[in-house]
Amino acid sequence: RQAKLLAQETEINLLTDQGRSLEDEIKEELAAARRAGAGARETLKQEGAQAEATLLEEVKRQAELEWATVEKKIQADMAKARASLQKQAQTFAQLLATKILGRELS
């Protein structure tokens, strides 16, 4: 009976050691997976930041090109309006002078 208890105690100790060993392996694998996950997350963050910076640069470049086009159109429209107003101002001045003087200017 004593030998049987001793054998069972030895088996319990062996199984406990195996359980601890498996638990340690699982903990190590879990820690390794967490490290790998953290590394992958950091890599994705860096790639995302780089993609964002590239996209922002492209959008900025496109906006600058569009702004230059709009600015040129505004300047051209202003030049046309200025020329038109100068012609109208001359005509208006002649009409006003004719009305004030009561005769046509030559």
What 3-state class would DSSP assign to 15? helix
pLDDT, residue 106, reads: 66
pLDDT above 90 as % of the chain: 72
pLDDT tens sequence across 23-38? 999 999 999 999 999 9
Is pTM beyond 0.85? Reply is no
pLDDT tens sequence across 40-57? 999 999 999 999 999 999
The answer to whether 106 and 97 have CB atoms below 8 angstroms apart is: no
pLDDT, residue 80, reads: 96
Q: What is the rounded CA–CA span in Å between residue 19 and residue 27?
A: 12
